[in-house]
Amino acid sequence: MSRIQVDRELVRKVADLAQLSLSDSEIGLYQERLSKVLSYVEQLDSVHESLGQDWRPDTARGTLESSTPERPDVVVVSLPVEEAMRQAPARIGTAFQVPRIIE
């Protein structure tokens, strides 16, 4: 069993965050599977890493000398709007249509 309590409430909460809707039986299924996988990955807890205070995964990428590549500020011709809109499941004019957003 995972030390994190994977209950139906948690599964629903995560599904909400991920914009997935689950049926009752799916919630049960995912609860079981997530619980199993989570208890497996929890073994990472027991790894003692001696990487030091200053080592961070995000800043350790690339090298100190090289920064993320940059491109010049020169306009590149955009996609023709018909191309941009061609596969829109719903549109009005050249805008994508969605149900009314309530602010």
Partner 1 sequence: MTVNLTVKSIVQQIRAGSLTPTAVAEAYLQRTKTIAQKLNTHLHLDEAAALTEAKGSAQRIKEIGADRLPLAGVPILIKDNICVRGSKTTCGSKILENYVATYDATVIKRLRDAGAFVLGKLNMDEFAMGSSNENSAFGPVRNPWNLDYVPGGSSGGSAAAVAARLAPVALGSDTGGSIRQPASFCGIVGLKPTYGTVSRFGLVAFGSSLDQIGPLTCNVEDAAMVMDVLTGQDANDSTSVQHPHGGFAKALANDSEGLKGKTVGIPEEFFDSGLDPEVGACLERAIADVQKAGAKIKRVRLPNISYSVAAYYVIATAEASANLARFDGIRYGYRTKENGVSLKELYRKTRSEGFGQEVKQRIMLGTFVLSSGYYDAFYAKANKVRELISRDFAAAFDSGVDLLLTPTSPTPPFKLGEKLSDPLAMYLSDICTIGVNLAGLPGISVPCGRTKSGLPVGMQLIAPKFNEQTLLTGAHAYERATEWHKDQPAI
Partner 2 sequence: MNAPQNGTKTSRPSEAPVNKSQESTVLDRYEPVIGLEVHCQLKTKTKLFCGCSTSFGAMPNHNTCPICLGHPGVLPVLNREVVNFAIRFALAVEANIHETSVFARKQYFYPDLPKGYQITQFDLPYCTGGKMMLASGKAVRLMRAHIEEDAGKNVHGDESSYVDLNRAGVPLIEIVSEADIRNPEDAADYLKRLRSLVRSLDICDGNLEEGSFRCDANISIRPRGQEKFGTRCEIKNLNSFRNIERAIKYEILRQADLLDHGEKVLQQTMLFDAASGKTQAMRSKEESHDYRYFPEPDLLPLRINAVRVEEQRKVLPELPEAMASRFQEQHGLSPYDAAVLTSDKDLANFYEAVVKRVAGAVTEKIVANWVTSEYLREANNRSWDFINPPITSNHLGELIELIGKGVISGRIAKTLFEEMAEKGPGNGPKALVQEQGLVQVSDTSEIRNVINKVLDDNPGQLTEYLGGRDKLFGFFVGQTMKVSGGKMNPQLVNDVLKELLDARRKV
Q: What is the Cα–Cα distance from 26 to 11, expressed in whole angstroms?
A: 10
Contact range with partner 2 by CB under 8 A, out of 3-11, 26-34, 47-55, 91-99: 91-99
Question: Which pair of tokens denotes residue 89?
Answer: 């499941």
> Three-class SS of residue 102?
coil
Contacts of partner 1 in 65-94 (CB under 8 A): 68-69, 71, 79, 83-84, 86-90
Rounded Cα distance, 92 and 85, in Å: 10
Q: Is 78 in the site for partner 2 (CB under 8 A)?
A: yes
Q: Any contact of residue 44 with partner 2 (CB under 8 A)?
A: no
Instruction: State both tokens at 90.
Output: 């719903």
- Positions that interact with partner 1 (CB under 8 A): 10-11, 14-15, 17-22, 30, 33-34, 36-38, 40-45, 47, 49, 51, 55, 57, 60, 68-69, 71, 79, 83-84, 86-90, 96, 98-102
